[in-house]
Amino acid sequence: MAKKVVSRKKQTIADIQRVLDKRDMLLSLKTGAGGPYMIKRVKDSPCKVACPAGIEVKGYNTLIAAHKYKEALELIRLNNPLPAVCAWVCFHPCEEQCARVEIDKPIAINDLKRFVADYSKTSLPSRIERTRGEKVAIVGSGPAGLSAGYYLIKMGYNVTIFERLSLPGGMLVAGIPAYRLPREIVEDEINYIKALGVEIKTGITVGKDIALNELKKQGYRAIFLGIGAHRGLKLGIEGEDEFEGIIEAVTFLRGANLDGWGKLGRRVLVIGGGNSAIDAARSSLRLGSRKVNIVYRRSRNEMPADPKEIEEAEREGVKIIHLTQPVKGLGDTGKVTGVECLSCRLSSPDRSGRRKAIPIKDSEFTVETDCIITAIGQEPDISFFPPGHGFELSEQNLFVIDPETMQTNRPGIFAGGDAVTGPASVIEAIAAGHRAAWAINNYLLNKGSKKKVYFRTDEAKTKEAELVVEEIGREKSQQPPALSLKKRTGNFTEVIGGFTERKALTEAERCLKCGPCSECYQCVETCEKRHAVLSISGSDQESMLLSLKWAMSELILVSGSAEGEIENIPVRIERITSRVEQSSCRGCGKCEEVCEYSAVRLEDKGNGVKVSSIDGNICRGCGVCASICPSGAIRVGYFTDDWINRTVEELLKSS
């Protein structure tokens, strides 16, 4: 039966304002005359496209250069509720796509984020008033769970996070050493989210201490599983389970970070090439081991760990043995003494570009060690869920979800982050949590239907505008200070420091601000002419929603039908420019003469008739052309409340 929609023409700009007022994360700021008016989006810059969370990089760089540090931090928080955490540990893919690479070195984007997060620490925010009655439960307080909680509380939901560890943070505190991510940074970020109203209960294992079905009985309308990947994978080699002294990296790091860990022995061998392997090796040195080796079956170019972390590990004395594959654990009297390895060679790249490690026959050699730490991968630990839990899992023991709605096969239960993708980065988990919040919101608004969640497209990494790099001078990139090797011994003191204000300003000014707009959104607050207005289109909803983003969150107007059902209507932002009433134009050309943006052009219509036209893509709406026009043919580009209400009603009626 077709859905009946009536009385929607009665929804005016005031109704839109009420909806958007409840979603302050969309920054629906009011101008002098009232109403949510924003600037039209331009094509995303390469740094933003590369960021999994879609952070407005050039926007906050612009604000830093203008000494607006607090505003820069607020802009980051629109898409990332853990700016300080990311500033310390993000693998910054944005820098790889920075247009500055074509000239000298990329902008130190992550270091600038760290500067503004540290320099502009704000007091705790006010508690958000609950505007919705539904309760949402989140399992896991890692970056995915914290992000989902942050955005759901912003939407007005009642949010509770359940964490089985004794303190919140998930892998932020259990997997990342303090020398990379100081604990007070994580604590500050979590306190910020708690101050908004998110409740975090620690020491509770959902599935063991409280069943998922019990949560539903307690009134939780939706559940998000952000449990991470806390179980290390086995090597599957002979002797692995036979000798004492062979441990998984995730277990070792959790013990070292939370409970303390005794000495591992004089010699430690780490197996793997990712960040966990590097963290385990560097932590071993800090716990007193004298000789730490890493064996990795491929070459250095294939190591997935952050190159900077690899460099720091080698500086500290970690030796990396490449093209080496362990095949057998060795031991004596029940304790590990070494590992037998084979040398490898790399195959030609496969379709994915990956080169396989092929063991070389008769190339055996032995590496002696007192302890082996395996860091070859992780998977979610779902042992606390009872038999017959009913979740569909992949071969890798990951939750299978609907990619369009983020729901598991169990209605009302969502999953995201490492529990779905396998071990990934913090920023990817944050993006998953943000998307999950929208998915849950969509689910609750639509009363459990499986409508697709439009959130972000996988766009090609393209630039907004071509850059003439020959005309841009080379500038030295700023580098943060590092702790001396001597001061790193025997402790977990932070290794890499932050920018001074002077360095931050110098680095921020290197940004090319790809495209015509820096996207800092400061004009929205101060604009008095209302040069932008919300418009709504009901045609081709999918392409509209996929192409229109603002602050990584689609601008969605939630509209109710007569039957009480909720619909998502895509919202487009249109910039208002001056326009010519050609029937009144005399063709004098004065407007073309005064336009300093070259947006006005005098066109020959034939038979000696000339009229002006204005290119809306170039026009800045300054109004100079209108003031000089002797015939009054040019209209100033701002709107009255009556015009806005009439336009919105017409659009709602047609959609």
Number of C-beta neighbours around residue 295 at 10 A:
23
Per the listing, tokens 């943006």 go with: 597
Residue 526 shares a structural domain with residue 619: no
Residue 259 shares a structural domain with residue 310: yes
44-63 average pLDDT score: 88
DSSP string over 14-70? HHHHHHHHT-GGG---B-TT-SB--PPP-PPPHHHHHSTT---HHHHHHHHHTT-HH
* Structure confidence by residue, pLDDT tens digits, 552-565: 223 333 333 333 33
Give yes or no for residue 274 having a pLDDT over 70: yes
pLDDT confidence of residue 282: 96
In-domain check, residue 75: no
Kindly state the tokens that stand for 41.
């989006």
Residue 627 shares a structural domain with residue 644: no
542-557 average pLDDT score: 29
More confident residue, 574 or 44: 44
Among the residue ranges 85-89, 156-160, 291-295, 563-567, the one predicted with the least confidence is 563-567
Q: Which long-range contacts does 281-284 make (Cβ < 8 Å, 24+ apart)? A: 281/313, 281/318, 281/373, 282/177, 282/179, 282/312, 282/313, 282/316, 282/318, 283/177, 283/252, 283/253, 283/256, 283/492, 284/371, 284/373
The share of the chain scoring above pLDDT 90, in percent, equals: 54
Residue 344 shares a structural domain with residue 361: yes
386-408 average pLDDT score: 93
Q: Number of folded domains in the chain?
A: 3
Reported residue count of the chain is 655
Per the listing, tokens 């919101």 go with: 441
Q: Classify 448 as helix, strand or coil.
A: coil
* Structure confidence by residue, pLDDT tens digits, 84-137: 999 999 999 999 989 888 888 999 999 999 999 988 777 899 999 888 889 999
Beta bridge pairs of residue 380: none
Of 376, 408, 423, the residue at which a domain comes to its end is 376
pLDDT confidence of residue 482: 86
CA 619/CA 594 separation, integer angstroms: 12
In-domain check, residue 469: no
* Structure confidence by residue, pLDDT tens digits, 605-629: 888 889 999 887 677 777 889 888 9
* Structure confidence by residue, pLDDT tens digits, 625-653: 988 898 889 987 665 555 555 555 554 55
pLDDT confidence of residue 520: 75
Of 360, 376, 392, the residue at which a domain comes to its end is 376
Confidence of residue 11 (pLDDT cuts 50, 70, 90): very low
Give yes or no for residue 1 having a pLDDT over 70: no
Strand 365-368 and strand 231-232: pairing?
unpaired
More confident residue, 575 or 221: 221
pLDDT confidence of residue 646: 58
Report which DSSP code applies to 329: E
In-domain check, residue 59: no
Residue whose C-alpha is closest to residue 184's, from 200, 173, 193, 199 = 173
Per the listing, tokens 């990795």 go with: 296
Confidence of residue 466 (pLDDT cuts 50, 70, 90): very low
Give yes or no for residue 550 having a pLDDT over 50: no
Residue 301 shares a structural domain with residue 274: yes
Give yes or no for residue 25 having a pLDDT over 60: no
More confident residue, 49 or 333: 333
Among the residue ranges 116-120, 192-196, 454-458, 576-580, the one predicted with the least confidence is 454-458
* Structure confidence by residue, pLDDT tens digits, 521-534: 676 555 544 444 43
Q: Identify whether the C-beta of residue 544 lies closer than 8 Å to the C-beta of residue 535.
A: no
Contacts of 631 (CB under 8 A, 6+ apart): 584, 585, 586, 588
In-domain check, residue 632: yes
* Structure confidence by residue, pLDDT tens digits, 417-452: 999 999 999 999 999 999 999 899 889 988 776 666
The mean pLDDT of the chain is 81
Confidence of residue 475 (pLDDT cuts 50, 70, 90): confident
Taking CA atoms, 613 is separated from 594, 600, 621, in Å, by 14, 6, 14
H helices of 51-130, in order, are 57-65, 69-77, 83-89, 93-96, 109-119
Residue 642 shares a structural domain with residue 617: no
Give yes or no for residue 8 having a pLDDT over 70: no
CA 138/CA 141 separation, integer angstroms: 8
Residue 614 shares a structural domain with residue 538: no
Confidence of residue 484 (pLDDT cuts 50, 70, 90): confident
pLDDT confidence of residue 638: 60
Residue whose C-alpha is closest to residue 129's, from 149, 106, 157 = 157
Confidence of residue 335 (pLDDT cuts 50, 70, 90): very high
pLDDT confidence of residue 645: 54
Taking CA atoms, 269 is separated from 247, 282, 288, 315, 369, in Å, by 11, 11, 14, 17, 6
Number of C-beta neighbours around residue 593 at 10 A:
11
Beta bridge pairs of residue 575: 532
pLDDT confidence of residue 41: 40
Residue 350 shares a structural domain with residue 368: yes
The share of the chain scoring above pLDDT 70, in percent, equals: 77
Q: Residue 619 sits in which domain range?
A: 578-636
Give yes or no for residue 573 having a pLDDT over 70: no
- Here the CATH number for the domain that contains residue 603 is 3.30.70.20
Residue 255 shares a structural domain with residue 302: yes
Give yes or no for residue 30 having a pLDDT over 50: no
CA 47/CA 56 separation, integer angstroms: 8
Q: Identify whether the C-beta of residue 149 lies closer than 8 Å to the C-beta of residue 193.
A: yes
CA 524/CA 575 separation, integer angstroms: 12
Residue 347 shares a structural domain with residue 253: yes
* Structure confidence by residue, pLDDT tens digits, 174-222: 999 999 999 999 999 999 999 999 999 999 999 999 999 999 999 999 9
In-domain check, residue 24: yes
- Here the CATH number for the domain that contains residue 262 is 3.50.50.60
Confidence of residue 397 (pLDDT cuts 50, 70, 90): very high
The C-alpha angle 576, 581, 587, rounded to 5 degrees, equals 120
Give the alpha-carbon dihedral of 141, 273, 340, 255, to 10 degrees: -30
In-domain check, residue 124: no
Residue 549 shares a structural domain with residue 585: no
Query: How many whole angstroms from its chain centre is CA 36?
Result: 25
Residue 549 shares a structural domain with residue 618: no
| Exposure b/e, 302-340, CB count within 10 A at least 16 = b | ebebbeebbebbeebbbebebbbbbebbbbeeeebbbbb
Per the listing, tokens 């130190």 go with: 108
Among the residue ranges 132-136, 338-342, 372-376, 632-636, the one predicted with the least confidence is 632-636
Q: Identify whether the C-beta of residue 512 lies closer than 8 Å to the C-beta of residue 475.
A: no
CA 237/CA 192 separation, integer angstroms: 46
CA 405/CA 464 separation, integer angstroms: 30
CA 172/CA 170 separation, integer angstroms: 5
Of 314, 341, 376, the residue at which a domain comes to its end is 376
In-domain check, residue 315: yes
467-471 average pLDDT score: 46
In-domain check, residue 496: no
Confidence of residue 538 (pLDDT cuts 50, 70, 90): very low
Confidence of residue 27 (pLDDT cuts 50, 70, 90): very low
